[in-house]
Structure 1
Amino acid sequence: MPDNCTSVEYDFESKILPSIYTMVLIIGLGANGWGMKSILQKQKKVGNNVFLLNIGLANFLFLPTLPFLSAYYFMNSNWIFGDAFCKITRFCFNLNLYGSIGFLTCISVDRYLAIVHPLKAMGRMTVRNTVAISVMVWVLVSVQSLPDMLYLKTSTNNTTKTNETAKCYHTTSTQYVEDYLTYSLGQTLTGFCIPFLILLGCYGHVILVLCQSNTIDKEVKQRSLKLLFILILLFSVCYIPYHIFRNLNLYARGLLKKGQCPTWNNGVFSAHQISRGLVCLNSVLNPLVYLHITDISTQFNKLLLRSCHMLNRLTVSRYGSVQATQDLRFLFASSNTSSC
């Protein structure tokens, strides 16, 4: 580090992160377990439910690693579990992060097609198709996460002859920070930016259709807006800050390696540490999405039956058929119940 740079305190890692990880572990296991159980017991595994179950699976891949990470940071970043397990924990983190983003995007596209293009989407979101899409998401997430395991993840600093402190890097060592920044930017683009733009486009169009339609129930509109709010909360709190400050921190580390000391280094480092705590909260906030969607089915069973009777009374005109199909398909997507 250059002489004109002041060192940054690591108190957040040793004091705050273990507390956050412990809280996420306890709440996450309970919320995800109860949510997935309710989906399996009460809902048919079609459409959104397959994607919701995969979000829960992504959370359960990450949550068991939290006790080990908590112990690591509680012991002042002293990793005692070996290089292989360090890479596994970081790989599970990436699977959870980008798997959750991927399946939230799938849910957004599914609801977009169901509301805006109901005729094209009708009958296509079968169990077979949704499982195939889910497998494809897992493959893509795994492919973009595997290169992370090829970077150096652990190192040992000999502070005394009898004492060694092993590091388990969240990204990689300073030696490879420039290469890792390139990889991180690519991962941010494919794993976060593109899905986020797709999600914004889908829900932006959905909200526009809901606001312009006079035939969709007011409560249905309100619940759709609440779901959009949950997704915005997830991205604003968990995903956006993490990706911004991870890449800025890697860039600052590259400058420090070259002997430069940016004035914003300490601020970016501190913000990055906070964002690392916030990003793991997605395992607590994700259940809000599938608990919200499963509640929709119990709330709108009567509306679904009512729409069936209304459909039988409509004329056979093209406009009336399309409009009725849109309303009915929206209720199908919201409640995931069987057709009338």
Structure 2
Amino acid sequence: MESTALDYNYTYDDNDEKPVEPCSSDGENLLGGQLSTIYYFMFLFSLFGNGLVLVIIHRFEKLTTVTNILLLNLVVSSLMFMSSLPFLGVYKQLSYWIFGEVMCKIVGSVYYLGLYSSVLFLTLLTFDRHLAVVYSLRASQVRNQRYALLSCAVVWLVSGLACIPKMILHKTFSTLIDNKMFCQEHPGNTMSIDDKLRASGFYLQLFLFLLFPLIVIVYCYVRIAITVISSKIVTRFKTVRLIFVIVLLFFICWTPFNIVELIHDDDDDDDDNPSCDEKKKRGYAREVTHDITYIYFCISPIFYTFVGKKFQSYFRQLLVKRFPGLKKHISVSQVSRTNMSTKSTQKSIELS
């Protein structure tokens, strides 16, 4: 699996199919095994945090609003992605695959589908907020349940189609050196159809799941910031700071991963193979940038949900109800379902 940085540098000669002496990746594997321990914590944190989002939506909100439909799908895609991390954690700690060929395909499919759909749902949520703030009056006619369901269907379809090249390449195989089983993209011939699929899959990820979302997110939040500032409401100016944090987090966490992958792809296309030291440095960079990306997608649904005062109020209500002793320490403003109409919920940007 290329995106998990599980590249053990086992290479094969295309002419006689005999193994070539590999560059040692012990240091990279050790770093990957150490970092993979946080996968279990990320999985548990994501399970708790996203589960809390689902509870709040179920108890206090309705699934008839655009925002809640998009949030629900973002939570599902995040949980789907995070469900693959415990398997990848075991894989990286052992340095070989123990779950069999069927689970290799299932985990790989869930990983890529969850990863790609999470990026697009985050972009879709940003675009929807842009509509609600910048075109609040006209957008109310467009932002309905049908629009939300159709948008989610398109995201799942595009994400599923984008996974096809990865899924064709993703398989189990054993090395001729130690006969251990691996679950990732097979390091096949550089001039084969597999190599063309690998290149197409990477550039699809680069343009559709990095550049396009980044452009949309930056554009939408710039327009939101301009609208908020022009409103001349003093209490809204903290929204601009939050907007900056959202864009910065996406850029910091998602861009290095793709840059490292781009460097890796360019090195593989060169006639002169990089030195062993260069491979090791690149391997360390892939391990770290992948894990940073995982952390972002772990917290993003929770972050996007709890930046709003309404969801913060719901969370405080849950805490006080579960732990009555906290009532004297936590101020709770009652926000009921009946008071929050569909129209007002859709117009709310949940940023202040």
1:231 to partner: Cα distance: 4.2
Residue correspondence of structure 1 range 138-217 to structure 2 within 5 A? 138-159=156-177, 164-169=179-184, 171-175=185-189, 178-179=195-196, 180-214=198-232, 216=233
1:165 to partner: Cα distance: 0.7
Say which of 260, 284, 290 aligns to 1:276.
290
Using a 3 Å threshold, how does the CA distance of structure 1 residues 67 and 329 change in structure 2: closer, same or farther?
Answer: closer
Using a 3 Å threshold, how does the CA distance of structure 1 residues 21 and 296 change in structure 2: closer, same or farther?
Answer: closer
Q: Name the CA distance, whole Å, in 2 between partners of 1:122 and 1:272.
A: 43
Using a 3 Å threshold, how does the CA distance of structure 1 residues 220 and 243 change in structure 2: closer, same or farther?
Answer: same
Q: Name the CA distance, whole Å, in 1 between partners of 2:298 and 2:222.
A: 25
Which secondary structure state, in structure 2, belongs to the residue aligned with residue 123 of structure 1? Answer: helix
Q: Match of 2:305?
A: 290
1:152 to partner: Cα distance: 4.4
1:167 to partner: Cα distance: 1.1
1:143 to partner: Cα distance: 0.7
1:194 to partner: Cα distance: 0.7
Residue correspondence of structure 1 range 208-287 to structure 2 within 5 A? 208-214=226-232, 216=233, 218-223=234-239, 225-237=241-253, 239-255=254-270, 258-261=271-274, 264-286=278-300, 287=302
Say which of 12, 22, 26 aligns to 2:44.
26
Q: Which runs of 5+ in 2 are unaligned?
A: 1-10, 14-19, 315-332, 335-342
1:330 to partner: Cα distance: 9.8
Matched, 1:14 2:33: yes
Q: Name the CA distance, whole Å, in 2 between partners of 1:252 and 1:44.
A: 50
Give the conservation status (yes or no) of the 8 Å contact 2:132–2:349. Answer: no
Q: Name the CA distance, whole Å, in 1 between partners of 2:48 and 2:119.
A: 21
Q: Which runs of 5+ in 1 are unaligned?
A: 303-327
The residue type equivalent to 2:251 in the other structure is: F
Using a 3 Å threshold, how does the CA distance of structure 1 residues 107 and 224 change in structure 2: closer, same or farther?
Answer: farther
Using a 3 Å threshold, how does the CA distance of structure 1 residues 101 and 87 change in structure 2: closer, same or farther?
Answer: same
Using a 3 Å threshold, how does the CA distance of structure 1 residues 90 and 251 change in structure 2: closer, same or farther?
Answer: farther
Q: How many residue pairs get matched?
A: 299
Q: TM-score, normalised by structure 1?
A: 0.78
Residue correspondence of structure 1 range 67-82 to structure 2 within 5 A? 67-76=86-95, 78-82=96-100
The residue type equivalent to 1:277 in the other structure is: D
1:53 to partner: Cα distance: 0.9
Q: Name the CA distance, whole Å, in 1 between partners of 2:346 and 2:151.
A: 23
1:200 to partner: Cα distance: 0.6
Using a 3 Å threshold, how does the CA distance of structure 1 residues 200 and 213 change in structure 2: closer, same or farther?
Answer: same
Give the conservation status (yes or no) of the 8 Å contact 1:174–1:254. Answer: no
Which secondary structure state, in structure 2, belongs to the residue aligned with residue 60 of structure 1? Answer: helix
| 1:278-310 deviation per Cα after TM superposition (whole angstroms, max 9, x unaligned) | 2211342111111223636859x99xxxxxxxx
Using a 3 Å threshold, how does the CA distance of structure 1 residues 284 and 152 change in structure 2: closer, same or farther?
Answer: closer
Q: Name the CA distance, whole Å, in 2 between partners of 1:206 and 1:85.
A: 44
1:329 to partner: Cα distance: 7.5
1:111 to partner: Cα distance: 1.4
Q: Match of 1:132?
A: 150
Range that drifts further, 97-106 or 224-233: 224-233
Give the conservation status (yes or no) of the 8 Å contact 2:305–2:311. Answer: no
Q: Name the CA distance, whole Å, in 2 between partners of 1:230 and 1:146.
A: 30
Say which of 88, 97, 114 aligns to 2:132.
114
The residue type equivalent to 1:201 in the other structure is: Y
Q: Match of 1:94?
A: 112
The residue type equivalent to 1:192 in the other structure is: L
| 1:252-274 deviation per Cα after TM superposition (whole angstroms, max 9, x unaligned) | 2444xx45225744322211111
Q: Match of 1:305?
A: none
Q: Name the CA distance, whole Å, in 1 between partners of 2:132 and 2:143.
A: 10
1:202 to partner: Cα distance: 0.7
Provide the aligned C-alpha RMSD in A: 3.0
Using a 3 Å threshold, how does the CA distance of structure 1 residues 104 and 111 change in structure 2: closer, same or farther?
Answer: same
The residue type equivalent to 1:141 in the other structure is: S
The residue type equivalent to 1:266 in the other structure is: K
Q: Name the CA distance, whole Å, in 1 between partners of 2:304 and 2:258.
A: 22
The residue type equivalent to 1:11 in the other structure is: L
1:21 to partner: Cα distance: 0.9
Give the conservation status (yes or no) of the 8 Å contact 1:294–1:335. Answer: yes
Which secondary structure state, in structure 2, belongs to the residue aligned with residue 80 of structure 1? Answer: coil
Give the conservation status (yes or no) of the 8 Å contact 1:174–1:253. Answer: no
